[in-house]
Every structure is written in structure tokens, then in C-alpha cells.
Amino acid sequence: GENVEQHPSTLSVQEGDSAVIKCTYSDSASNYFPWYKQELGKGPQLIIDIRSNVGEKKDQRIAVTLNKTAKHFSLHITETQPEDSAVYFCAASTTGPFPGGGADGLTFGKGTHLIIQP
Amino acid sequence: DADVTQTPRNRITKTGKRIMLECSQTKGHDRMYWYRQDPGLGLQLIYYSFDVKDINKGEISDGYSVSRQAQAKFSLSLESAIPNQTALYFCATTGQDTDTQYFGPGTRLTVL
């Protein structure tokens, strides 16, 4: 089955600096890669995702890049703010060619605790 | 109102007891999932269901069972709880036209 490795486990950055979290996956059939943010006492919430037919995707201060050949993908957060402090999880799954094509559940990385220092 | 609700939010029980965790969703989705979260281990898939007649085991299903009572309801049971089942449990749902999984707020289960 799929195995997802995530690094680092803890990341501390100064407010306003950039943060990068990296993940690798093992199953070449995986084609959907979401990133979730989990705040204390809450369930994970999707912040951005990417499909394998796209190399990069941006949404304001957040971007995700995917390298299918190397089987790794990364989350980039620019101009970090205190509210970015949380645990971030990467995940991978195999779905159909279109959204909702049949996700058999997500395989998650172990999480990164992002700390934004004032 | 929250799209995905879980009850109870916290539960303390004793070894050997049977316990049921419940999940309801109002998004009208057909797919529902149960995950377990342990500190430093991320989330692991226990069971998932694509509709009321379709139940599938995830990577860590041993010691757990599920029931899909209706499209909107998916329950997780521990027939005989043991201490290493102490964890956070999350329910999630997704639909046929999206890959996004929407998570509930979680149930913190402690087995003494």
C-alpha cells in the first residue's frame, strides 16, 4: 500500500518568513495530493490540493508543488502570520480522472507542527 | 451548523466495554470514513463506506466494526475496548463530485 513520509515534524519560523513542508510518497498510482491544516481541538481542514496532471497550484499565500518523477510534493506558505500556527498534514490517494472519481481513503503523513514566532 | 457532527466528543471507558462512536453529516455525500489519530502518527484509515450497502476495511480495522445506518450516518464500534485504542477518532465524508474530505470535530476516547 501507499506510504507517505513528511518532514520536518516541527518547523519554527519568524512571522513574515516563508515555511516549506515536504512529503514523499511510494505508490506511483497515487494521483491526488491534499494538504490539511489542523488547529487544536478541531478536525483537519483542507487548505489546498493538487492532482498529478498539474505541477504547481497557488492560492494566495499558499502553494503546492508536485514532482511525479521523484514522487514528492511540497507545501509553501509565504508571509507567514500567527494564525498559520497549526499542525499540517500531507496525504495521498488514488482517485478517478475527475474529482470524486472514487477515493479509497487518504494515506496521511505524520504531520508537521508549524510554529510562527512573533 | 456543522456539516459533520460526532458524538460523543469525549468518552472515558474501561477495558472490555463495548462502545459506539456516532457520526452524522448534512452534506448529502455518499462516502464516509473513520480515521484514528495518535500523537506523532498522523491519521490512519479504519473503515470506509461508499454507500449504505458498501463497507470496506482500511489499514487498521482489527478490533473495530462499523454500521452505515443511512446515507447520513456512519457508526464505529469497539466490541471490547482495550487501552491501546485510546486515541482521537475522526469521521469524514466526501461526495461523487469532489475529492475534498470534510472532517468532523473528533471524539477523544480514553480506555482505562
| pLDDT value for B42 | 86
Q: Which residue type sits at B47?
A: Y
Q: Is A100's CB within 8 Å of B101's CB?
A: no
Q: Is B31's CB within 8 Å of A41's CB?
A: no
pLDDT band of A25, cuts 50, 70, 90: very high
Q: Is A42's CB within 8 Å of B106's CB?
A: yes
Closest CA–CA distance from residue B32 to any residue of chain A (Å): 9
| pLDDT value for B99 | 79
| pLDDT value for A1 | 82
- The residues facing A76 across adjacent strands are A20, A63
> Does residue A82 register a pLDDT over 90?
yes
Q: How many CB atoms lie within 10 A of CB A75?
A: 25
| pLDDT value for B57 | 92
Report the candidate in B97, B106, B88 with the shortest Cα–Cα distance to residue B27.
Answer: B97
Q: Is the dihedral of CA B108, B60, A107, A13 positive or negative?
A: positive
Closest CA–CA distance from residue A35 to any residue of chain B (Å): 10
- Cell readout for A40 is 487544536
Q: Is A99's CB within 8 Å of B98's CB?
A: yes
> Does residue A100 register a pLDDT over 60?
no
Name the interface residues of A facing B (CB cutoff 8 Å): 1, 4, 6, 9, 32, 34, 36, 41-46, 49, 89, 93, 95, 99-111
Q: Is A34's CB within 8 Å of B40's CB?
A: no
Lowest-confidence range among A68-77, B49-58, B96-105?
Answer: B96-105
Q: Which residues of B touch A111 (CB under 8 A)?
A: 40, 42
Asked if residue B112 lies in contact with residue B16, where contact means CB atoms within 8 angstroms, the answer is no
Q: Is B94's CB within 8 Å of A42's CB?
A: no
Q: Per residue in B54-66, pLDDT tens?
A: 999 998 999 999 9
| pLDDT value for B96 | 74
| pLDDT value for B104 | 96
Closest CB to A109: pick one of B35, B42, B99.
Answer: B42
pLDDT band of B2, cuts 50, 70, 90: low
Q: How far is Cα A21 from Cα A7, in angstroms, rounded to an integer?
A: 6
Q: How far is Cα A75 from Cα A71, in angstroms, rounded to an integer?
A: 14
Q: Is A41's CB within 8 Å of B59's CB?
A: no
> Does residue B1 register a pLDDT over 70?
no
Q: Please, what is the average pLDDT of chain A?
A: 92
> Does residue A97 register a pLDDT over 70?
no
Name the interface residues of B facing A (CB cutoff 8 Å): 4, 31, 33, 35, 40-45, 48, 50, 56, 58-59, 90, 92, 94-106
| pLDDT value for B95 | 81
| pLDDT value for A95 | 73
Closest CA–CA distance from residue B88 to any residue of chain A (Å): 10
Which of A39-53, B35-49, B79-93 has the highest mean predicted lDDT (pLDDT)? B79-93
Map grid coordinates 491501546 to a residue: B84
Q: What is the mean pLDDT of the segment spanning B26-35?
A: 92
Region of B106 on the Ramachandran plot (φ > 0 left; ψ -120 to 50 alpha; else beta)? left
| pLDDT value for A98 | 57
Classify residue B34 by its DSSP letter.
E
